[in-house]
A and B are shown apart, each in its own frame.
Chain A
Amino acid sequence: MEPEEVGTFISGKNVDLLPGDNLEHINLYAKWDNDQETRHYARNIFPTTLEDYKKWIEEEKTGTPSQLNFEIYHKGDKKIIGYVGFNHINWSDRNANIGMVIGEPEYRNKDLGTEAAALIIEYGFNELNMFKIGCGMFEVNVGSWKVAEKLGMQREMIYKEQAWVDGKYVDDYKYCIFLDEWKEKRKKLL
């Protein structure tokens, strides 16, 4: 799929961010979100139908968005490999939470998620005038919190026994970064 179809919204070194919530790609989103391995740590514990995506996407089109999603496009392979976005955007406290999925397994553990996250953090601070950006994951999702640490985020919260994963209660981690911290870190990442 060529990015020209919908345009490259943010351009990176190995990946670009294309507008997300594309109604023509909901089959791709459904494939990732329902995939047993991919959905494991994203904790999609209920099946998601194509109609669910249609409904969400239509609902999001009204008013100032409380979430913004992008597709992660692999430039070398010309392929959409996942999505990244802000959810729980709070426009008065000026903070938001990052959500990300690399849906295609062969593209995991290649620092592409780190790059995509760095692009969206830069976008959040530079264009959306955010003050603080966070993300959360379960303790067992080691890959995800390693990415957060590579991005210079601090682990500010451990919610004890917050979620039921693989038959037991596990802790939930919350990471965050402030604008002034990002100003230092961005030099190394972008």
Chain B
Amino acid sequence: MKEKLSSEETKPKEYIAYPFIEGENVELCPTNLDHVKLYTKWVNDSKARIYARNNRPHTVEDITKWYEPSESRGLSKYVTFEIWHKKDKIPIGTCGYGRINWIDRNANIFMSIGVPEYWNKNLGTEASRLLIDYGFKELNFHKIYAGIFEPNIGSWSVAEKDGFILEGVQKKSIFINGEYVDARSYRMLKKDWLKNHH
């Protein structure tokens, strides 16, 4: 039994954005626990979750925990944004950095457009460019990397459009849809990004 969000719940005016980074069609905003049901929906969505590798169900409480402020006083290992669609005035996905290493100055970039209707519209590409620029110009990263499994062509096309270099392939390292598939690793060094995005 599939429960759809009622039109009442998806009404645009329900959502409020606090833009942190402005783009042309999308903005990157802080995550907002008022939107946690939407995040939960994306994480469990059978189409979207395959590419995000969520192979177990997540409850609203699980997702709330992810986005609750951390107690640590140190620099965070994660930065997460909500991707906000400016024209439609709704959140359409999340993106950010995981495994931030402040000594080696590198991080794993991640992105997920949770609403399939917004796929293949270059919104992910736009959001990724805002995020990469932020990583190099504000967080002072030396390197940004991305791990994407082979069948997730949409994601690695975005990485290649952004100028990421294929660093290598880890053979048969992920089990998905009944088979072992390869994982691609992409890298962007600060010097390579700044050549084209000064």
Residues of A within 8 A of B (CB): 45, 92-95, 131-132, 156-164, 169, 174, 176, 178
Contacts and interface: CB of A to CB of B under 8 A. Distances in A.
A92 B175 contact: yes
30 contacts: A92-B55, A93-B173, A93-B175, A94-B175, A95-B173, A131-B180, A132-B171, A132-B172, A132-B173, A156-B168, A156-B169, A156-B171, A157-B168, A157-B170, A158-B168, A159-B145, A159-B167, A159-B168, A159-B187, A160-B143, A160-B187, A161-B143, A162-B106, A162-B143, A164-B104, A164-B105, A169-B142, A174-B170, A176-B170, A178-B171
A162 B185 CA distance: 13
A92 to B, nearest CB: 6
Interface string B160-181: 0000000111111111000010
A132 B187 CA distance: 24
A153 to B, nearest CB: 12
Nearest to B145: A159
Contacts of B173: 93, 95, 132
Interface of chain B: mostly helix, strand, loop or mixed: strand
Interface of chain A: mostly helix, strand, loop or mixed: strand
Contacts of A157: 167-168, 170, 185
Interface in B87-127: 103-106
Nearest to A94: B175
A178 B172 contact: yes
Contacts of A131: 172, 180
B99 to A, nearest CB: 12
A131 B179 CA distance: 12
A94 B175 CA distance: 8
Please give me the 7 A-B residue pairs with the lowest Cβ-Cβ distance, nearest first. Answer: A157-B168, A163-B104, A93-B175, A164-B104, A93-B174, A156-B170, A164-B103
B36 interface: no
B63 interface: no
B189 interface: yes
Nearest to B185: A157
Contacts of B187: 159-160
A139 to B, nearest CB: 14
B104 A158 contact: no
Nearest to B56: A92
